[in-house]
Amino acid sequence: EEELEIISNLSGLGWYIYPDFNLKKWIFDIYNGRNFSVSQNTNPTVIFSPEFDNVKSQEYIDSLVGFGNYAIVAGQGEGVNREVIAVGSDATGLDKHIIFVDARDLENSDDLQRRGEAKLNEHKRVLTFQSEILPEGPFEYERDWELGDIVTVKNKDWGVTVDTRIIEVTEIYEAGGFKLNVIFGESLPTLTQKIKSALGELKIESMK
């Protein structure tokens, strides 16, 4: 599941598994979310904002914890003979966030670029909107938007407008009515994910 999540983050494609009762099999399928953001002009736009009366509450997280936009990737070899490449942003000064990638487990030097890009994807800046969506708003769930789509999220008071993907939808059925909790953007890494990432680095280190 974790490998599939990494592939999804790199490709922008989603995946799901559902039962086919006629074939008596589980079906694995992929989907490419639609783009309803204000930055495109092919589809109708979908905007989530208190101004549109379709958001009850919002929480915005902009985290640079663990962020990297420039990777130094070191392959096989020792000392001055070790193959080293750089991957990432042209940013300079305080805008450059460097990570080191130990890739000596790779036998093919052509794979260093891909390893660096994959690691940068794991160290992205986290921009997340967590919102409670009002179902009676102008945009209807599963008709105008759904999980995996790209939409625009806005909060005028905070001066924030972002085009971002819907990565999680929680449907809540209570005595008081139906609620939708939606996460836009990137989810913050959990402690378990951080530990697994660190263990992965230790595994590479032990292979030296």
At 9 the pLDDT is: 66
Do residues 168 and 187 touch, judged by C-beta distance below 8 A? yes
C-alpha 182/C-alpha 141 separation (Å) is: 11
At 87 the pLDDT is: 94
In the three-class reduction of DSSP (H, G, I as helix; E, B as strand; rest coil), residue 166 is classed as: strand
At 204 the pLDDT is: 41
> In Å, what is the CA distance from 161 to each residue of 45, 126, 139, 187, 199?
14, 15, 18, 18, 37
At 72 the pLDDT is: 95
Tens-binned pLDDT, residue by residue, of the chain (208 aa) = 566 766 776 667 777 788 899 999 999 888 788 999 999 999 999 999 998 889 999 888 888 888 899 999 999 988 889 999 999 988 889 899 999 999 999 989 899 999 999 899 888 887 788 888 988 888 999 999 998 899 999 998 888 898 988 988 899 988 878 889 998 887 554 444 444 454 454 444 444 4
The reported pTM is: 0.63
Tokens of 188: 């913050």
Bridge partners (DSSP) listed for residue 48 = 153
Q: Going by CATH, does the domain composed of 33-65+124-207 fall within 2.40.30? A: yes
Place of tokens 């530990």: 195
Tokens of 63: 């985290």
At 194 the pLDDT is: 46
Q: Where are the domains of the chain?
A: 1-32, 33-65+124-207, 70-123
Tokens of 152: 């625009």
Q: Residue 156 has what DSSP assignment?
A: T
